[in-house]
Structure 1
Amino acid sequence: MSLSFRQSDIVEIANVEGRVTVDGLAERFQVTVQTIRRDLSELSDAGKLDRVHGGAVLRSGVSNIGYEDRRALNHEAKIRIAERCAADIPEGSSIFMNIGTSTEAVARQLLDHKNLMVVTNNMNVANILVENPDCQIVVAGGVLRRSDSGLVGNLAVSTIRQFKFDHAIIGCSALDLDGDLMDFDLQEVLVSQTIIEQARQISLVADNSKFRRTAPARIASLADIDTVYTDSDFPETLARKCNDWQTQIMECK
């Protein structure tokens, strides 16, 4: 399928914002809602987007979207989440932070924290925290994944097992309605599972786009998480599960 200029722009907007609405696109492009519905149906047929009531979302699958696109996705929401999460981290803590744009956002909010030790398999997090002179940084070994500057593999896992962290701050690629944290890379999943085993308090940072995506590999359950930081109302099904599991939800609106 050859996309029109408008359809290409719609895909680009979805890549940045995570979802698009019929009414919003009709206003943006000054066309009828029927025209936009036809565009979205054709984009869905072409495998570019998934149709949902009132609009469309990024297509889920077995591979992740590009890292720079993820960094731009819900950027303001990630800042709000990061500010709240960082505010709950006491100074003088030992912390693990895994791969992801949300954990990078938290790292930026820790630049004024005192007397921290941060262990990470995320080279981007390490480079951000270099600006904090009162933060000791330990970079886990492993194989460098060039797509996102993450370190994965058995060496990373072995390094993590040498620590017991006060706090783990982790992200995920998707959060399904069963309450499972999902990801795309099996090696990264193993690292995240090891982090959960080695931390006293575990915080998940996840913007609302994670509720609309799927990924093939399971990391853990929300039952294993102490606090979830998100930017919107939690889906009711997940909120009930969290209540049963005593997982705290912090909505950072």
Structure 2
Amino acid sequence: MTEGAEQPALNQRQQAILGFVRQQGFVSVEALAEHFGVTAQTVRRDVNALCRLGRLRRFHGGAGLPSTVENDAYAHRQVRCLEEKQRIAREVAARIPDQASLFLTLGTTTEEVAKALLGHAGLRVITNNLNVAHILSDNATFEVIIAGGVVRHRDRGVTGEATIDFMKQFKVDFAVMGISGIDDDGTLLDFDYREVRVLQAIMAHSRTIFLVADHTKFHRNAMVRLGHLSEVDVLFTDSEPPSAMQRCLAEGGGSVVVAAADGTAPAVRRVRDGSPEECSNEN
């Protein structure tokens, strides 16, 4: 499309598809067809039109948001998939004992984890997330340690060289960390290279790494490489990860905890040789 040309108006279904994908982050063609009650061919035409306009980006089997250099607004991320994040948070909290030490990183899902941990006792928490620190300060038995550095106005996250140096002073039981996206090849991705360096320091100084990621993070692109799924001990999510990602977890003997939507016991799988193997709920 030439510069300055007027973009064609979207029809009602295209507007609805765009809003749905913005809410979910990534949606398969089949899911879109089922949601809107149309054929997959009709969905593909609408998605192709939206992609030509730069409103969406095609991925294998579906569509997602186009940007890889800028995350969605923090207020939007707070409410997106909130119920799923809360289920994930409860499963994480159930696997962290009292008197444990942990890092809690930036992210709206880790903030839900902080809320789910308020019933614990004697935790020692190091965080670069001022929202997490505020939440956890309601428990008088916790010791909450805030990293120094530069505060980002958009989400009250603390990053920078001082933050990295601060994190390197500790060796903790658990790192509970969020992520912006997980590529098909298992690469963990984020938008801010400064935040990535902080996360890398956290991973290097944790005995057990818990990654919290709802299904919208699968196949989602961002521009900065953090690490790989094989470095993660447990992936907590709300939907069965794609088989390719499970194979990546298998490289490090990792486990997947899928938080159930219907209140039933979570599906916990230890992944071996790319095949999910049922295991007990004990870590």
TM over 0.5: yes
Q: 1:201 aligns with which of 202, 208, 232?
A: 208
- Contact kept in structure 2, 1:178 and 1:238, CA below 8 Å: yes
Q: Which 5+ residue runs of structure 2 have no aligned equivalent?
A: 1-6, 261-283
Superposition deviation, residue 57 in structure 1: 2.5
Aligned pairs, how many?
250
Superposition deviation, residue 22 in structure 1: 3.4
Instruction: Say which SS state the counterpart of residue 184 (structure 2) adopts.
Output: coil
Q: Does 1:128 align with 2:138?
A: no
In 2, the alpha carbon distance for the partners of 1:5 and 1:130 equals: 48
Q: 2:97 aligns with which of 86, 90, 95?
A: 90
- Contact kept in structure 2, 1:170 and 1:204, CA below 8 Å: yes
User: C-alpha root-mean-square deviation of aligned residues, in Å?
Assistant: 2.1
Higher deviation after alignment, 237-246 or 169-178: 237-246
Instruction: Say which SS state the counterpart of residue 212 (structure 1) adopts.
Output: coil
Q: 1:100 to 1:239 in 2, by over 3 A?
A: same
In 1, the alpha carbon distance for the partners of 2:222 and 2:98 equals: 35
- Contact kept in structure 2, 1:16 and 1:72, CA below 8 Å: no
Q: 1:76 aligns with which of 83, 103, 110?
A: 83
Higher deviation after alignment, 114-123 or 14-23: 14-23
User: What's the TM-score, normalizing by structure 1?
Assistant: 0.90
Q: Does 1:26 align with 2:36?
A: yes
Q: Does 1:233 align with 2:243?
A: no
In 2, the alpha carbon distance for the partners of 1:9 and 1:50 equals: 16
Superposition deviation, residue 232 in structure 1: 1.1
Q: 1:77 to 1:187 in 2, by over 3 A?
A: same
Structure with more of its chain in helix, by fraction: 1
- Contact kept in structure 1, 2:55 and 2:66, CA below 8 Å: yes
User: What's the TM-score, normalizing by structure 2?
Assistant: 0.81
Q: Does 1:223 align with 2:230?
A: yes
Q: Which 5+ residue runs of structure 1 have no aligned equivalent?
A: none
Q: 1:170 to 1:33 in 2, by over 3 A?
A: closer
In 2, the alpha carbon distance for the partners of 1:133 and 1:238 equals: 39
In 1, the alpha carbon distance for the partners of 2:167 and 2:39 equals: 54
Higher deviation after alignment, 34-43 or 56-65: 34-43
Instruction: Identify the residue that residue 10 of structure 1 maps to in structure 2.
Output: 17
